[in-house]
Amino acid sequence: MRGYSLAAILRHGLRRNLTWPEAIRHPEPKSRYDAVIVGGGGHGLATAYYLASMHGITDVAVLERGWIGGGNTGRNTTIVRSNYGQPANSAFYEHSLKLWEGLSDELNFNVMLSQRGLINTFHTAADREAWIRRYNFMRLRGIDAELLSREDLAERVPAMNLSTDLRLPVLGAVLQPRAGVAHHDAVAWGYARAADAKGVDIIQNCEVTGFAREAGRVVAVETSRGRIDTGKVGICVAGSSSEVARMAGIRLPIETHLLQALVSEPVKPFLDVVVSAGDYGMYISQTDKGEVLIGGPLDGYNSYSQRGSPATIERVLASAVELFPAISRLRMMRHWAGANDMTMDGSPIISRTPVEGLYFNGGWCYGGFKATPASGWTFAYTMAEDRPHPLNEPFTLERFESGHLISERGAGRLPGLH
């Protein structure tokens, strides 16, 4: 791999940009690999990259049914943050944020991390206490966190409606300054290119159709392009986890639900921070292209359709217009829904499974994008060492049986509420 650099831009520019090499190879699958990753999204590609770069396992195939980054990696709202209360989540997502901060350099690919800050507004006295408690936890753990008054908000987010006539007036907010956004496609492409350069085979249009097992061990993966023998398989297919795990005879504590987002036509910059208003069930940011990007809560029922309900759009947009009246006449330009793995406690699973040599990574709820680097980092460790890293030790499959749930919201076993 020739690195991307200023010199490369000049060199290829002089040749009218016709000479850039392809970012990754397109190999035919071999009949055997040391390790196989199922799923070529950000998490699978990151896992392959860290297997090669940190654990010296380079004979790896990433099998992707469609194209890399074409699933939930391309269907999120690109927020990166580590503002969690539960100790396990806090440590994991802060590790992820630190990896994000060095990622463009590490991958030689600009992932366009923009640490513009994340503001969580609160609108009731109880919510205020809950947020302050959570941000105190963060400060005690050395994670950046600030409390903002209404006056601070007027200065920091002039477009926000701070009127006391709102149904739920803004009482204040908390801010994580190091949070922000990154570019979703760049993360997939950056990891893919860096993994490919280390010898990982990225195989697109290759659907996994089954797992061959012998004496409780996985020995091969059956695919639409033939059988691939291997001793280690990592599943990274959040959204379709239940369907893929079923092929290995594993039932998961997961339901698949829809999460929607939509963007407006582009306008001049007016919002330079991500704002999330939990009580309104709405979050909003402005992309580098000027589009206003708005997301909301789950639709609330099992679905793989990747088509959201208009009822949710209406509710989310009503909230967005109430808090940011200036956007009321914007036309919405694109809309999409992702099929999310929702676990029963709202936290992910990065774990060994009852099948030897088969590892599972999924259940990302709606926190998968920001977790991409740490997910790959800890999953690669788990696959290479056949045991979890301390950072993902709490995120086992067994926690549901032993009762060690990691429930950020305490919402009980109702995936639609996490």
> Max CA-CA distance within the chain?
67
Name which of 166 and 318 has its Cβ closer to another protein.
Answer: 318
Q: Which is nearer to another protein, 99 or 406 (CB)?
A: 406
Site for another protein in 47-86 (CB under 8 A): none
Under the phi-then-psi rule, with left for phi > 0, alpha for psi from -120 to 50, and beta for the rest, what region is 410?
left
Contact between 303 and another protein by CB under 8 A: the answer reads: yes
Separation between Cα atoms, residue 332 and residue 335, nearest integer Å: 8
240 binds another protein (CB under 8 A): yes
Alpha carbons 31 and 225: distance in angstroms, whole number: 10
Backbone φ and ψ of 4, nearest 5° = -80, 135
Residues 388-407, interacting with another protein (CB under 8 A): 400-403
The answer to whether 291 contacts another protein (rule: CB under 8 A) is no
Q: Is 252 in the site for another protein (CB under 8 A)?
A: yes
- Residue 370 CA to its chain's centroid (Å): 5
- Distant-in-sequence contacts of 223-227, Cβ < 8 A, 24+ apart: 223/29, 223/63, 225/28, 225/29, 226/29, 226/31, 227/31
Name residues contacting another protein, limited to 339-378 (CB under 8 A). Answer: 344
**Is residue 408 a contact residue for another protein (CB under 8 A)?**
no
Binding residues for another protein, how many (CB under 8 A)?
A: 28
Binding status of residue 307 toward another protein by CB under 8 A: yes
Unique residue bearing structure tokens 């009980």? 412
Cα 173 versus chain centre, distance:
24
* Residue 373 · residue 103 · CB < 8 Å: yes
The least CB distance from residue 379 to another protein, in Å, is: 21
Residue 2 vs 246, nearer CB to another protein: 246
Shortest approach of another protein to residue 381 CB, angstroms?
Answer: 26
324, 217 contact by CB (below 8 A): no
Does 290 contact another protein by CB under 8 A? no
Which listed range, 61-69, 91-99, 180-188, 244-252, lies at the site for another protein (CB under 8 A)?
244-252
Query: In whole angstroms, how close is the CB of 238 to another protein at the nearest point?
Result: 12
Residue 139 binding another protein, by CB under 8 A: no
Nearer to another protein, 252 or 277 (CB): 252
Q: Is-contact 47 236, C-beta < 8 A?
A: yes
Q: Which of 239, 238, 294 is nearest to 262 (CA)?
A: 294
Nearer to another protein, 29 or 253 (CB): 253
Q: Is 304 in the site for another protein (CB under 8 A)?
A: yes
Q: Give the nearer residue to another protein in terms of CB position, either 200 or 261.
A: 261
Alpha carbons within 13 angstroms on the beta-carbon side of residue 170 total 26
| Binder among 187, 254, 284, 383 for another protein (CB under 8 A) | 254
Sites of contact with another protein (CB under 8 A):
240, 242-243, 246, 251-256, 300-305, 307, 309-311, 344, 400-403, 413-414, 416
